[in-house]
Amino acid sequence: MYSSTVEAPVLLIGTAHVVDLAEPLRRTLAARPLDGVAVELDPERIESLLAPGAERRKPTGAPLFARLWSILQRRLGAEIGGGPPGAEMRAAAAFAQERSIPLFLIDDPLRLTLLHLVRAMPFKERVTLVVGSIVGLFVPARVVEREMDRYVESPEEYAAELRSASPTIARVLLDERNEHMADRLLGLRRGGYGRLAAVVGDAHVTGLASALGRRGVPVETVPFRTLRAATAPGPRSS
């Protein structure tokens, strides 16, 4: 084990919002001593996520594409994930409460991020985003599962495709947020919380690890494919 919390790497755990990874996530968190758990949420989202009946609440007040995404996530969560979206974040919050350690919210406010995204996007990207969101509502779950398998095999290829199709989305939703989350994790370490686990969407893991590395923070990663393999009924090849 590490001789001091300063030497301990930040544990980055990659999840998917439409797959219930609560149990393997809890096992991963329980496998080491922690000073705190950080999650890719802001105060408004954590309040909404933990409120009674949150899984049935319809999204309001967000841009059209964000409301469509929410509807799509709920459908896919029911069809392929075994639970409502956000199960992994609820599990992380519950784990922190059970262990009496702090839960840190390290993401930017979602409403401001989406407003920034809409303002920054060229018209063509906006149209593509809305159309893609509508089409996604009618995509069969089996197609999504195939695409998820392809992502697991080559997440770098998927990221490259996103950057090519919509560089603004990649910059605003991934790159900028990664930098901000890295700054907050660095601040927590400097404040004495050296042994941290951060639960984030898997698309953030590589970029967030790089951002932390540039700040001199050691990192250990547990990607989505590792957690997903732990939920399978039999052995899976990595």
Mean residue pLDDT of the chain comes to: 79
More confident residue, 55 or 49: 49
Average pLDDT over every residue of 78-104: 82
In whole angstroms, what is the distance from residue 115 CA to residue 66 CA?
11
More confident residue, 8 or 210: 210
| pLDDT on residue 180 | 98
| pLDDT on residue 24 | 92
Is residue 60 scored above 90 in pLDDT? no
Per-residue pLDDT tens for 4-52?
466 789 999 999 876 778 899 999 999 999 999 999 999 988 998 888 6
Banded pLDDT at 232 (limits 50, 70, 90): low
Average pLDDT over every residue of 197-207: 94
Handedness of CA 203, 208, 213, 219 (dihedral sign): negative
**Lowest model confidence (mean pLDDT) among 1-5, 20-24, 215-219:** 1-5
In whole angstroms, what is the distance from residue 171 CA to residue 165 CA?
12
More confident residue, 223 or 131: 223
Given a contact cutoff of 8 angstroms between Cβ atoms, the answer to whether 39 and 89 are in contact is yes
In whole angstroms, what is the distance from residue 117 CA to residue 71 CA?
20
Long-range contacts, 94-97 (Cβ 8 Å, 24+):
95/25, 95/26, 95/29, 95/30, 95/37, 96/36, 96/37
**Lowest model confidence (mean pLDDT) among 91-100, 146-155, 161-170, 213-222:** 146-155
Handedness of CA 220, 225, 229, 235 (dihedral sign): negative
In whole angstroms, what is the distance from residue 148 CA to residue 142 CA?
10
**Strand partners of residue 219:** 10
Q: Residues 6 or more apart from 82 whose CB is under 8 A from it?
A: 19, 20
| pLDDT on residue 198 | 98
More confident residue, 221 or 126: 221
Per-residue pLDDT tens for 121-178?
888 887 777 666 655 555 555 656 666 666 667 778 878 887 888 888 889 989 999 9
Average pLDDT over every residue of 200-227: 94
Average pLDDT over every residue of 83-104: 89
Kind and range of the H or E run holding 179 = helix 177-190
Given a contact cutoff of 8 angstroms between Cβ atoms, the answer to whether 65 and 169 are in contact is no
Handedness of CA 175, 178, 182, 188 (dihedral sign): positive
What type of residue sits at position 66? A
